Structure 1
Amino acid sequence: MLNIDDIDRRILKELQRDAGQSLDTLGEAVHLSRNACWRRIRALEASGVIKGRVTLLDAAKLGLGLTVFMQIRTNAHAPDWLNTFKKATQDMPEILSVFRMSGDLDYLIRARVADMAGYDQLYQSLIRKVPLSDVSASFVMEEIKETTQLPL
């Protein structure tokens, strides 16, 4: 872990809240000059703490109203299968997250699709690209909390 001081933490909290704010606004919030903020941001980017800057979109307003969690089990655990699985999931824009899990579940996928027909298309596409022994899905009925902000 890098040496992150309290000022860096305040900058990171502010940027997580709104990465599009001006350096002047950020400086006021963290009690630093515009240039001092910029230097710290550049250092945090160079160290890899800041991986990128994005714009958060409203999925439902863009016609992607259904969130699905796919629970994947496989009998194959060879490196070539894993590479095929990684490539398949990385190439599918509906898939937002893929996690290799401990316990009974091998992989957990989070995806956004328009509706059940969209999920079926995603499912059919995935099983054509990679052999899976079991796929089950759970659909989000209500989103209670969704954030990209890390607890600093």
Structure 2
Amino acid sequence: MLDDVDRTLVRRWQAEPSLTVPELAVLAGLSPGQTARRLDRLAADGVIRGQVAVIDWAALGYPLRVSLRVTLDKTVPGTFDAFLAAARDVAEVLEIQTFLGRVDVRLALVARDLAHYQTLYRTRILSLPHIADIEALMDVAAVKADERLPL
């Protein structure tokens, strides 16, 4: 369970992930050593899983974002494992989620343009194993993309 100091550290770091340990220590009212130990404990406990760079794929020439909702043929043993292993090998697939319900898997992918997406879809996506049904949803706008919680 997080105490108030841990919540302060996580809240401040969520708001400004580029803060250094000494800067975070000042904001939390701790010494840098105390802050580092608490951050190490939070990481060891799995609360903090790491730091990431948020990439603007459009700035790198991949402005098209598509979500694919996939239903798998579950009559074949090993369907999920085979599909997921093959989907991981598609470089343009940025995220893979599995679900309970009619839709089994969601793939989030990027493409340079519609022609690139069409080629990717026909050559890489449709060749993934055990697809029973697939629905493509083209992203129009990201209205909210935030992993911060109000701590």
TM bin (shorter chain): 0.7 to 0.9
Distance change in 2, residues 1:117/1:55 (3 Å): same
1:86 to 71, 84, 87: 84
How many correspondences in the alignment?
Answer: 150
Counterparts of 1:19-34 in structure 2, within 5 Å, are 19-34=17-32
Whether the 8 Å CA contact 1:88–1:129 is kept in 2: the answer is: yes
CA positional deviation for 1:13: 2.1
CA positional deviation for 1:36: 0.9
- Structure 2: which amino acid aligns with 1:96? L
Counterparts of 1:53-72 in structure 2, within 5 Å, are 53-72=51-70
Moved more, 97-106 or 25-34: 97-106
1:120 to 97, 118, 121: 118
Q: Distance in 2 between matches of 1:69 and 1:42?
A: 36
TM-score for the superposition, normalised by structure 1: 0.86
**Paired position in structure 2 for 1:149:** 148
CA positional deviation for 1:75: 1.9
Aligned residues: CA RMSD:
1.9
Structure whose residues are more often helix by fraction: 1
1:52 to 46, 50, 53: 50
Counterparts of 1:30-41 in structure 2, within 5 Å, are 30-41=28-39
Q: Distance in 2 between matches of 1:89 and 1:18?
A: 33
Whether the 8 Å CA contact 1:94–1:111 is kept in 2: the answer is: yes
Moved more, 3-12 or 35-44: 3-12
Partner SS, residue 55 of structure 1 = coil
Counterparts of 1:98-137 in structure 2, within 5 Å, are 98-123=96-121, 124-137=123-136
CA positional deviation for 1:97: 2.0
Distance change in 2, residues 1:150/1:112 (3 Å): farther
CA positional deviation for 1:127: 2.3
Partner SS, residue 69 of structure 1 = strand
Whether the 8 Å CA contact 1:65–1:115 is kept in 2: the answer is: yes
Moved more, 100-109 or 41-50: 100-109
Whether the 8 Å CA contact 1:88–1:126 is kept in 2: the answer is: no
Partner SS, residue 124 of structure 2 = helix
Q: Distance in 1 between matches of 2:49 and 2:131?
A: 32
TM-score for the superposition, normalised by structure 2: 0.86
- Structure 2: which amino acid aligns with 1:99? Q
